[in-house]
Amino acid sequence: MTTHYKSTRGEPRVALVTCADLVDLDPDDRLVLAPLAARGIPAEIAVWDDPDVDWSSYDLVVLRSPWDYALRRDEFVAWAASVAALVNPADVVRWNTDKRYLAELSATGVPTVPTSWVEPGESWQLPAETGEYVLKPAISAGSQDTGRYDLADPEHRDLAVAHVRRLSDAGRVAMVQPYLRAVDTEGETALLFLAGPDGLTFSHAIRKGPMLTGPDLGPDGLYKAEEIAARTARPEQLAVAEKTLAAVPGGTRQLLYARVDLIPGPDGEPVLVELELTEPSLFIGYADGAPDRLAAAIATHLARRT
């Protein structure tokens, strides 16, 4: 039986947060609108940096596709801190929008992609080992400003140096990671977790095909296109995901959703690529019942506040 909710101010008000480039939401996110309406929760779409939005008028503010924040992260984090009803909450947003959280998770024993960091103004030496590497900023969304470099290729070596210098000149921290070749065959596995009465529960998994074909040559849109298919999660992947989520500061009960992105490492065992807690695509169109499960998760958090 579907439960209907009413706020103390009347009909519940829920905002689904997006950016100016996606004023109608990402099509995948729109799949939750009907299940929400069936629960008596008519959701409204709102742009995060729209000065005319009264965020205090909402019972719940759900981050979905504010994908233009990367170059204005300080502004975005400050906005998040001003929205009391935000999920995932502002403390999580602050922690998760800087990928240096990977170092913290690695320190707790979570298997992660080996990563080195280049601070702005810091000199960077190319890795001594040839092979393929991924370069990207520590603050980014949608695989923007991300490139793949074969250090056996002199041109790629020059482009890699230029990429890091470009990020440094913009005051951005660069990440350097070995390219995990298994992504070319196995792909990347994203495990999706949604809130339930007792905390996060595994919902579904998808496969993402390889996206990086070469060096980053400049802006190419809000996000890179992805090749997505449904996937069955394996026990070892779920185990890494659970270990990752157990290390989230503040625990997982505060979370509406989480996405754990994994790729097999050189030994075939899954390693964490990213933990997406701020604005991940949830791929609810790729699993039966997932739109309803997301609506139920939103209703769960709404019930805690109304």
**Catalytic positions:** 231, 259, 276
How far apart, in whole angstroms, are the C-alpha atoms of residue 76 and residue 70?
8
Structure-block tokens of residue 184: 């070319």
- Residues comprising the chain, all counted: 306
Tokens 């075939």 locate to 268
The 3-class SS string of 95-160 reads HHCCCCHHHHHHHCCCCECCCEEECCCCCCCCCCCCCEEEEEECCCCCCCCCEEEECCCHHHHHHH
Whole-number Å distance between alpha carbons of 45 and 19: 10
Encoding tokens for residue 191?
Answer: 């495990």
Q: How far apart are CA 94 and CA 126, in angstroms?
A: 30
The alpha-carbon radius of gyration of the chain (Å, integer) is 20
In sequence order, the 6+-apart residues with CB closer than 8 A to the CB of 107 are none
- Peptide bond before residue 88 is cis, with ω within 30 degrees of 0: yes
Question: How far apart are the C-alpha atoms of 169 and 159, rounded to whole Å?
Answer: 15
Residue 215 one-letter amino acid: P
